[in-house]
């Protein structure tokens, strides 16, 4: 299901074989022609996931998204001049002004409603290592009971006030309350509860929730961000029109909103890494946030970006490696994953963080120890043999034993 009609059309494999560059030749992949002459044929280094753009198929301009040794080709409907313009014009990303700091000087601390820590429930997520924070206000009631109670109240309101016509679906009827109505927060809260188990139903209300988000009060925005997160798990591309809202929430000053915005961005960037290209600097700043959940989600998002844009992340290897001593184990895990994913782009940058990575070999989290072995082996880092030998012989995790043995062979070869 793709709610947005402008999503670019993918070129089939048969047509893609006819692709040529603007000179009529075969598009280069991996290294440009002038660089290929410098490559030693005996080299075992894999070529980078880049290539020529744009390409032309039967006279139609197309753009390629290079990844994992291959590419996907999309038709360009707007005759774009750059790949970034193609992403923007086709709805894959939205243009965004640069941001100099996390919190605007124009915002007053007294005007910000701080969340009550006693109302927070943190649920661990396995997919991308992000936490989502849920505003728990139903205590003695189940989610289903809360949802049905809100549904009855809100539908009664739509009928009483004739807000919508009878042809609208229930989610659209209830979404139309959002805005000036005093029931706006309740409407978004209901849609968030629906989105937990029925994102395919709740996604119908997405355009209204997104367009009304800035006009609603803080509690409604907290529920709205949780709604976006629930939608992102099943329909990440549906949230492209709301990317600015998610980014503003991620770098804002409401911890509950930040955590869910970062988790939603993580779901999107996991599928579409290019969306995160402009967020690296801001995520690095968030690695020092007072909230461990924000730090964890920021580190996780850097790992998602590093799936495809390793060089953007590895330039910040030092602050990411500093997270390997964070008090929160999930921050350490996500930081170690981000370093593994970006490390091959610049092994020297990883070697400069040898003290932090060597320390990670003693971490109480198996995932961190395993990542440390991978980093040491890939970068051929100079560390005391006894540290790896201890893991190779005594670690209770068989995978770590094997990885430590492999790392020893790498640094001795």
Amino acid 121: pLDDT? 29
Residue from 313, 317, 321, 260 nearest 291 by CA: 260
Amino acid 76: pLDDT? 87
**Residue reference for tokens 């927070």:** 120
**Residue reference for tokens 């003693």:** 362
Is there a common fold for 116-271 and 306-413?
yes
- Say how many CA atoms lie within 13 Å of 92 toward its Cβ: 22
pTM above 0.85, yes or no: no
Amino acid 97: pLDDT? 39
Contact 207, 173 (CB under 8 A): no
- Which CATH number, 1.10.150, 1.20.1530, 1.10.760, 1.25.10, labels domain 116-271? 1.25.10
Domain ranges of the chain: 13-89, 116-271, 306-413
Range list of β-strands (E), 114-202: 120-124, 131-135
Amino acid 350: pLDDT? 95
Q: Which residues sit opposite 56 in a β-bridge?
A: 20, 61
Cα first-last separation, the chain: 50
- Which CATH number, 2.30.110.10, 1.25.10.10, 2.40.30.10, 3.40.50.10680, labels domain 306-413? 1.25.10.10
Amino acid 152: pLDDT? 84
Please give the chain's pLDDT, 413 residues, in tens: 233 334 567 889 999 999 999 999 999 988 888 776 665 565 556 677 788 999 999 999 999 988 666 888 988 887 888 887 787 677 665 444 333 322 223 333 332 233 333 333 223 333 446 666 655 444 445 778 888 888 888 887 776 554 444 445 787 788 888 876 788 889 999 999 999 989 998 998 898 899 889 888 999 999 999 999 999 999 998 998 899 999 999 999 999 999 999 999 999 998 888 889 889 999 999 999 999 999 999 999 999 999 889 999 999 999 999 999 999 999 999 999 999 999 989 999 999 999 999 999 999 999 999 999 999 999 999 888 899 999 999 999 999 999 999 999 998 87
Amino acid 1: pLDDT? 27
Tell how far CA 395 is from the center of its chain: 32
Cis upstream peptide for 410 (omega within 30°):
no
Burial 354-377 (b: 16+ CB within 10 A, else e): bebbbbbbebeeebbbbbbbbbbb
Amino acid 99: pLDDT? 33
């Amino acid at each position: 299901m793709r709610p947005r009609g402008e999503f670019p059309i993918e070129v089939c494999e048969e047509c893609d074989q006819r692709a040529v560059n603007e000179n009529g030749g075969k598009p280069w992949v991996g290294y440009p022609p002038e660089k290929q002459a410098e490559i030693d044929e005996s080299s075992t280094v894999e070529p980078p996931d880049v290539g020529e753009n744009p390409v032309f198929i039967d006279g139609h301009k197309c753009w390629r998204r290079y990844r994992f040794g291959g590419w996907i080709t999309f038709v360009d409907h707007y005759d774009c001049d750059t790949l970034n313009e193609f992403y923007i014009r086709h709805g894959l990303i939205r243009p965004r002004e640069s941001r100099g700091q996390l919190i605007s000087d124009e915002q007053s601390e007294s005007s910000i409603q701080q969340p009550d820590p006693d109302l927070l429930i943190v649920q661990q997520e396995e997919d991308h290592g992000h936490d989502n924070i849920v505003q728990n206000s139903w205590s003695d009631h189940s989610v289903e009971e809360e949802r049905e109670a809100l549904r009855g109240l809100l539908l009664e309101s739509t009928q009483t006030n004739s807000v919508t016509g009878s042809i609208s679906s229930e989610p659209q009827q209830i979404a139309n309350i959002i805005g000036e109505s005093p029931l706006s927060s309740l409407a978004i809260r209901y849609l968030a509860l629906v989105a937990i188990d029925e994102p395919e139903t709740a996604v119908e209300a997405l355009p209204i929730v997104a367009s009304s988000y800035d006009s609603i009060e803080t509690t409604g925005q907290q529920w709205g961000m949780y709604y976006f997160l629930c939608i992102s798990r099943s329909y990440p591309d549906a949230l492209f029109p709301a990317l600015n809202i998610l980014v503003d929430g991620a770098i804002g000053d409401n911890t509950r909103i930040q955590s869910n915005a970062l988790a939603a961005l993580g779901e999107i960037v996991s599928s579409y890494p290019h969306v995160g290209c402009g967020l690296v600097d801001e995520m690095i700043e968030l690695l020092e946030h007072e909230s461990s959940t924000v730090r964890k989600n920021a580190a996780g998002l850097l790992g998602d970006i590093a799936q495809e844009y390793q060089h953007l992340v590895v330039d910040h290897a030092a602050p990411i490696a500093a997270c390997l001593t964070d008090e929160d184990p999930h921050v350490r895990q996500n930081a170690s994953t981000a370093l593994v994913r970006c490390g091959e782009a610049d092994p020297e940058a990883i070697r400069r963080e040898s003290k932090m990575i060597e320390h990670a070999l003693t971490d109480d989290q198996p995932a961190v120890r395993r990542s440390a072995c991978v980093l040491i082996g890939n970068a051929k880092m100079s560390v005391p043999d006894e540290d790896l030998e201890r893991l190779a012989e005594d670690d209770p995790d068989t995978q770590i034993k094997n990885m430590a043995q492999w790392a020893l062979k790498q640094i001795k070869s």
